[in-house]
């Protein structure tokens, strides 16, 4: 095996061992950019975006938070669509 092949094989193995981070969207940053101020908590940020009230996605605080995240994401996507619509 050539030196180049060994090096390439080692690089692929090292890449395999590196932890992979799943892609994510920073909703707080997007919300802050749209509002041009800090959004506060998820519920107050959603209300400032006029995102509407969410349906809880599960029991307890976690379910409520996931519901708020969903309505914020949906509202930001809708606002982004309005910004890119023809004639905007």
Q: pTM for the full model?
A: 0.68
Residue-range domain boundaries for the chain:
24-84
Q: Which ranges of 1-88 would DSSP assign to H, the alpha helix?
A: 3-17, 27-35, 42-48, 60-84
Kindly list the averaged pLDDT for each block of 10 residues, start to end, along the chain of length 88. 74 81 85 93 93 90 94 93 67
Query: DSSP letter at 55?
Result: P
CB 71 within 8 A of CB 51: yes
Left, alpha or beta for 40 (phi > 0: left; psi -120 to 50: alpha)?
A: left
pLDDT for 7: 82
pLDDT for 18: 80
Nearest by Cα to 26 from 65, 72, 67, 59: 72
């Amino acid at each position: 095996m050539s030196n180049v092949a060994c090096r390439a094989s080692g690089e692929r193995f090292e890449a395999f061992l590196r932890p992979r981070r799943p892609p994510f969207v920073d909703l707080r940053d997007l919300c802050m950019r749209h509002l041009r101020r800090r959004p506060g908590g998820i519920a107050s940020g959603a209300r400032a975006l006029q995102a509407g009230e969410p349906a809880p996605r599960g029991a307890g605080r976690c379910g409520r938070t996931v519901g708020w995240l969903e309505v914020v994401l949906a509202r930001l996507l809708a606002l982004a669509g309005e910004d890119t619509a023809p004639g905007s």
